[in-house]
Amino acid sequence: MRNLLCAGFFRLRRNQVFWICTAAMLVFSAGMMVVWCQEDAAKGFVRDLDTFYFRPSLGVGLVYSVFSCLFLSVEHSEGTIRNKLVVGHARRDVYLSNLLTVFAASLCMALAWLVGSCAGIPFLGFLKLPPAGIALCIAVIIGFTASFSAIFTFIGMLNNRRSATVITLLVWLALLLGTSTIDNALYEPEFSNSLVLTAEGTQVLGDLEPNPNYISGIQREIYEFIIDFLPTGQVGRLPNAAHPVRMLLSSLFITISTTAGGIFLFRGKNLK
C-alpha cells in the first residue's frame, strides 16, 4: 500500500492537470474575493472577511471532477492498473491508493482556494470567527472534499477513459442542478406583496399575502436535509451552516458507503 501511495504522489507531482487546476483555484478565488469586496464597497455595505472567506464557488466540485477523471483515466488507458495487479498488489489497495491520491490532490486545491481568498484581507481585515468556528468550517470543507473524491474515484475506477469523463461531469452537473433547484425553493419567502393596478394605470405593491410557493413543514425539513447531505449543497451553505455536524456525518456516510461499494465492484471488474 505504501509503495502504491508513493507512486501515486510521484505521479501527482508531475501531473500538469493537477498544477493547472490548483493554480486556477488560487487565481479564481483571489479574483472572486476582490470582485465581492469591490461590489460591496460600491454599494456602501460594511462587512467583514467572515462573510466571504469560507464561501467557495459551486465550481469547486467541477475542478475536482475534471482532475479526478483525467488523472484516473490514465490508469486504464496505459494499463497501469493491470501492471499493479500483475506485480501482486491487491485490488483493494489499488483502489484505496487512488482514492487517497485524488483526495490529497483535492485538498491541495481546496487549500489553494483558501489561500487565494486571503486577497480580501487588505479590504476587510482578518477573520473574526472564533477558532472553533474556523475549525468547523475547515472540517466541513475537508468533509465534502472527501465525499467528492469518493464519488469521482468510484466512477473513474469502474469505467473506461471516455465514459468515466462523461459520467463524472454529468454526475457533478446533476448534483449541482438538483441542489440549486431545492435551494431556490427554500429561499422562497413565506409572504409576498402582490402588484395592484391603480385607477391611474400604475402598478403599486399591495398587502402582504401568503406565498403559495413557500415550502413548510416536513417537506422543508426534507429539503434542508438533502442540501446538508449532498456535497454540492454543503458548498453553498458555507460559512453560515445551520447543521455542520449533520454535514460532517453525511460526508462521512457518503465517503464510506461509496468507497465500500467501489471496492466491492472493483474486485469483480474485468480489466481488459
| pTM to 2 decimal places | 0.87
Phi, psi of 69 (to 5 degrees): -70, -35
What distance in Å separates the CA atoms of residue 113 and residue 29, rounded to the nearest whole number? 5
Is 169 a member of any domain?
yes
Tell me whether residue 214 is in a domain: yes
Query: pLDDT tens, 63-85?
Result: 998 899 888 887 766 667 777 77
Predicted pLDDT at 197: 52
Structural domain of residue 188, as residue ranges? Answer: 2-267
Residue carrying the nine cell digits 467541477: 62
More confident residue, 181 or 236: 181
Helix axes 60-77, 16-43, angle to 10 degrees: 170
Task: For residue 272, tell me if it sits in a domain.
Answer: no
User: For residue 135, is it within any domain?
Assistant: yes
122 inside domain: yes
**Total number of domains in the chain:** 1
26: number of Cβ within 10 Å? 19
pLDDT digits (tens, 9 = 90+) for 102-130: 999 999 999 999 998 888 888 888 888 88
